[in-house]
């Protein structure tokens, strides 16, 4: 017996379109409706509970899959998704992958089986190919905090390459020439893009002013992981005057280690974070950071996926990109040498 998925695949349309052909033919373009009705007839498909459920599957439920809900960046993003969903009378199923691609795959399967109407995802790693397979099954996807690249889907992201260049340029302008890059794996797309931005901005610097960048990779982008790594790094010698951190949690962990080792921030070492989470401004040393509009990212992504759910036939995928911005607080300052030069000049 042909299933509704078989009909969708054969007609080259989404599950929602087959459901609409059965339950709400009036919303479909005539050509599409006739195409689906012919496939239903040819396959002898008889709408059963799954089709009716799919009608009920106008269940106004969307899924949100994020890599680390303990990171206030993703908490704010989830709040944006939730507010946009509430405004459209949708509800959200929140899934946290702990940056695991295995968990991510399992959540995609569970949400598909739940017949959610659409899924928002911040991929834990570069998993565009895996997501393309999910989309082929007729599951509506939209990427949040990640450009869709080759995927036929909406996306809302931040120009992370520009964000990386803002961080490097800020420390360089303060005279820092020995900089530690403390961040996660470059398998994490946001990290790769930020590091690429740092490398790009290095090309704009004259050879005699080039900073030396030392990289220290973390297993996870958490404050505790950064604290442990920094305590070890300090033991081996502080051969840097500035630290560019992969996100604010890393920056907070690094500052905790530096202060425990009586290294003054920013007088001895400047620290810049990324995200500008709510706590950044009230940290033990108010954190200079690269601000991302987390709430707006989530709100915009939810609006896009809901628009697609409401009108699949007329929906056109959109790619939205926000720009990050530098927020200067007291965790960064000119180096001692730079301050001396400023006094002389
Ligand atoms: O998930 C790693 C980082 O990417 C987060 O801290 C946030 O910056 C996101 O964009």
Does 73 contact ligand 1 (Cβ within 6 A)? yes
Does any ligand 1 atom lie closer than 6 A to the CB of residue 66? no
Question: What is the pTM assigned to this prediction?
Answer: 0.82
Question: What tens digit of pLDDT does each residue of 49-91 get?
Answer: 555 555 545 789 999 999 999 999 999 999 999 999 999 999 9
Nearest atom in ligand 1 to the alpha carbon of residue 184 is 2
CA of 73 relative to ligand 1 center, distance in Å: 7
- The verdict on the CB of residue 276 being under 6 Å from ligand 1 is no
For residue range 197-229, list pLDDT tens digits in order. Answer: 999 999 999 999 999 999 999 999 999 999 999
Reported as a single tens digit per residue, the pLDDT across 260-305 is: 999 999 999 999 999 999 999 998 999 999 999 999 999 999 999 9
Under 8 Å between Cβ of 93 and 312: no
Assess whether pLDDT exceeds 90 at residue 243. Answer: yes
Q: Is the CB of 275 under 6 A from ligand 1?
A: yes
Gap from CA of 274 to ligand 1 centroid (Å): 8
The DSSP call for residue 27 is G
The residue contributing the CA closest to ligand 1 atom 6 is 247
**Strands (DSSP E) found in 137-235:** 141-144, 154-158, 178-183, 212-217
Instruction: Please give the pLDDT value at position 344.
Output: 62
Predicted pLDDT of residue 322: 97
Strands (E), the chain: 61-66, 91-96, 118-121, 141-144, 154-158, 178-183, 212-217, 242-245, 270-272, 289-291, 319-322, 325-327
What pLDDT does 52 receive? 52
Provide the pairing of β-strand 289-291 with 325-327.
antiparallel
Is 97 near ligand 1, meaning CB less than 6 Å away?
A: no
Question: 178 CA to middle of ligand 1, Å?
Answer: 24
- Is the CB of 308 inside a 6 Å radius of any atom of ligand 1? no
Q: Alpha-carbon distance 341 to 86, whole Å?
A: 56
Q: Which atom of ligand 1 is nearest to the CA of 221?
A: 2
Residue 128's pLDDT is 78
Looking at per-residue pLDDT, the higher value among 339 and 31 belongs to 31
- For residue 312, is pLDDT > 90? no
Higher-scoring residue by pLDDT: 325, 147: 325
> CA-CA distance, 14 to 57, in Å (whole number)?
13
* Ligand 1 binding pocket includes 71 (Cβ within 6 Å): yes
Q: What string of H, E and C letters represents the secondary structure of 301-336?
A: HHHHHHHHHHCCCCCCCCEEEECCEEECCCCCCCCH
CB of 163 closer than 6 angstroms to any ligand 1 atom: no
Contact 211, 169 (CB under 8 A): no
């Amino acid at each position: 017996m042909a299933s509704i998925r078989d009909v969708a695949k054969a007609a080259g349309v989404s599950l929602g379109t087959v459901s609409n052909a059965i339950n709400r033919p009036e919303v479909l373009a005539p050509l599409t409706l006739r195409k689906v009705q012919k496939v239903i007839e040819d396959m002898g498909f008889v709408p059963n509970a799954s089709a009716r459920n799919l009608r009920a599957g106008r269940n106004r439920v969307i899924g949100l899959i994020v890599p680390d809900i303990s990171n206030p960046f993703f908490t704010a993003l989830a709040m944006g998704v939730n507010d946009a969903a509430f405004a459209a009378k949708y509800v959200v199923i929140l899934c946290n992958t702990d940056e695991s691609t295995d968990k991510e795959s399992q959540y995609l399967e569970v949400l598909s089986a739940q017949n959610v109407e659409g899924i928002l995802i911040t991929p834990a790693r570069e998993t565009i190919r895996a997501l393309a397979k999910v989309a082929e099954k007729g599951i509506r996807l939209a990427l949040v905090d990640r450009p869709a690249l080759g995927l036929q889907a909406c996306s809302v992201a931040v120009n992370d390459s520009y964000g990386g260049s803002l961080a490097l340029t800020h420390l360089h302008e303060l005279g820092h020439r020995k900089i530690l890059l403390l961040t996660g794996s470059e398998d994490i797309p946001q990290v790769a893009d930020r590091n690429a931005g740092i490398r790009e901005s290095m090309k704009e610097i004259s050879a005699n002013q080039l900073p030396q960048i030392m990289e220290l990779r973390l297993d996870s982008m958490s404050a505790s992981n950064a604290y442990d790594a920094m305590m070890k790094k300090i033991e081996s010698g502080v051969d840097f005057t500035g630290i560019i951190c992969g996100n604010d949690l890393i920056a907070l962990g690094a500052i905790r280690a530096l202060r425990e080792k009586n290294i003054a921030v920013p007088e001895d070492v400047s620290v810049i974070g990324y995200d500008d989470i709510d706590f950044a401004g009230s940290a033990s040393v108010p954190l200079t950071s690269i601000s991302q509009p987390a709430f707006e990212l989530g709100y915009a992504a939810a609006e896009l996926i809901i628009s697609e759910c409401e009108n699949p036939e007329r929906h056109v995928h959109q790619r939205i990109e926000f720009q990050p911005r530098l927020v200067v607080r007291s965790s960064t300052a000119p180096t001692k040498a730079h301050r001396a030069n400023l006094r002389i000049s």
